[in-house]
Structure 1
């Protein structure tokens, strides 16, 4: 798959997320309002935050596909990871807001939700799980941190909707059987949703920050790249290899040893051979090769 095709698919997925989240947020808010469900209205806020998240991903993808320039000779791939961090921060803030609004409800009299709230929650769960599966698989296929984090936004919405469904159901049972304390299952579900959202946002944010700090592939992940470099006949030894992640691609810093009696031109040709072989690996964007004279006593 070409780079252009990759970004086209990723941007399409981000826009599907924007449109889907707008529709669900409006639907849940109206159903929560008319159905008297505070948990569903909190869930609507969650879906609305996903709109901002999907937009951040879309903007990040737009920036990431820009070609290298004088200020960014290694490309703009990290824009995807930055977008993922923004999404994680937004998600965490929404979790705090949902938690506060749900706790406040314990100090006010409540009425049990109506049936429309349950119907809309079930529809939301089905739609959001479908969006999660779509974006997660596409994110894995395209090696996109931003899409994967955005997919987990949808999964968090699924789980928050499940919590809302349980809370709404228990609250309705409380109203039906005149069990007053059970009516408060609705805001309890809101608190559970908030805690889960903040926990997920923290993990996703941590992983994205890790990837922006010039994270290199671990030894076992880089082993195949070492083997490719060592397969060039003139290479006596691969002294050092660091594969730095830049969003969906990697840039390799490599030191190899060659025959010390080679001319500078011959050594340069070996370096070009090694670079050519490594660039055949789909996710390798650039290779920087340093030539060392081989010393068997080292």
Structure 2
């Protein structure tokens, strides 16, 4: 029995995409109106995460039955193109900021850049708590997602410090601290370039089937084996799809139970894995009867197997 809904993973991806892109648009507009290069750079950095989530969603949809090699090649080309645009935009922003620093032509930042930067920090803090809530154990291979969130949070914090310094330079009549905004913009631009590189790295031909480390697979197997009704886990494959993990496994159950009971065990396995490992997007469970002899076979069953229909 195998299910391919992916609904939960796709919904989460759509929410992240919309949230990141809307926040990036708001920060970009406010940064432009407030003359804050740091806030504009942070907007580009936030947009990069929205694009990466969109790329992850595209790779996730490749595993649907309607996917194919041509679809994978087209989606990979789209991801490479988006990453290239992101890298070019980051380089252009960084170069223009360095030029402003050399010329000393940067303008004082307006006060309304500060509330926007603080709002960004608050929203990312809330998102971080929602991802890390509870006592769920995470796979070690997914720690990079937590690191990405920390870098995103750090980018908004640098934008706040930079814009606050540049605003204070005009308010306090201290031109020297006005340099904080372009310096913060340059630092955030490096994060944008890193994000573009990560997109290119994830778009490599093997990215769609990037297997987890053996230690993580063994932990998944141990967790599935603890589910009541599972006699053995015969096979388990786990793949990273961007920010998500897809798991497909085959379990053996008592051959004397009904099909309905086998379905119940499959649902329990899926529920148990997705509850404990918060980054698992979907679990596909195949159930087969256990064929190991004792304790599910006895002499009477053996005799029945040796009889023919004529008996």
Say whether the fold is shared (TM-score over 0.5): yes
Per-residue CA deviations over 1:121-146 (Å, capped at 9, x if unaligned) read: 311221111331344445567x9x9x
Note if 1:130 corresponds to 2:130: no
Name the residue aligned to 1:262. none
Give the Cα separation in 1 of the matches to 2:269 and 2:287: 11
Q: Tell me, what secondary structure is at the counterpart of 2:125? A: helix
Query: Where does residue 305 of structure 2 map in the other structure?
Result: none
**2:301 maps to what in 1?**
none
Q: Which sits farther off after the overlay, 97-106 or 193-202?
A: 193-202
**Residue pair 1:222, 1:243 contacting (<8 A) in 2 also:** no
Cα distance, 1:286 vs. partner? 1.2
Per the alignment, do residues 66 and 190 of structure 1 end up closer, same or farther by CA in structure 2, a change over 3 Å counting?
closer
Give 1:104 deviation, angstroms: 1.9
TM-score, normalised to structure 1's length? 0.59
Q: Which consecutive residues of structure 2, in runs of 5 or more, have no partner in the other structure?
A: 275-279, 295-311
Query: Cα gap change, 1:277/1:31 in structure 2, threshold over 3 Å: closer, same or farther?
Result: closer
Query: Per-residue deviation at 1:52?
Result: 6.5
Match of 2:65 in 1: 69
Say yes or no: does 1:176 pair with 2:173: yes
Question: 21, 25, 47: which one pairs with 1:18?
Answer: 21
Separation of aligned partners in 2, 1:156 and 1:208 = 25
**How many residues are matched?**
263
Q: Secondary structure at the match of 1:19?
A: helix
Distance 1:97 1:6, change over 3 A: same
Partner of 2:184: 189
Number of the residue aligned with 1:35: none
Q: Give the 3-state SS of the residue equivalent to 1:176 in structure 2.
A: coil
For 2:86 and 2:117, how far apart are their aligned partners in 1? Answer: 18
* Secondary structure of 1:242 counterpart: strand
Q: 1:158 Cα shift?
A: 0.8
Residues 85, 251 of structure 1: CA spacing in aligned structure 2 closer, same or farther, 3 A cutoff? farther
Query: d(CA) in 2 for partners of 1:52 and 1:199?
Result: 10
TM superposition shift of 1:224: 0.9
Q: Offset at 1:277?
A: 4.2
Unaligned runs of 5+ in 1: 33-39, 259-264
Alignment correspondent of 2:162: 164
Q: TM-score, normalised by structure 2?
A: 0.57
SS at match of 2:34: helix
Which digits, 9 at most, give the CA deviation of each residue in 1:120-179, with x for residues without a partner?
Answer: 3311221111331344445567x9x9x979966852541331342365257548x93576
Shift of the 172–253 alpha-carbon distance from structure 1 to 2, 3 Å rule, reads same
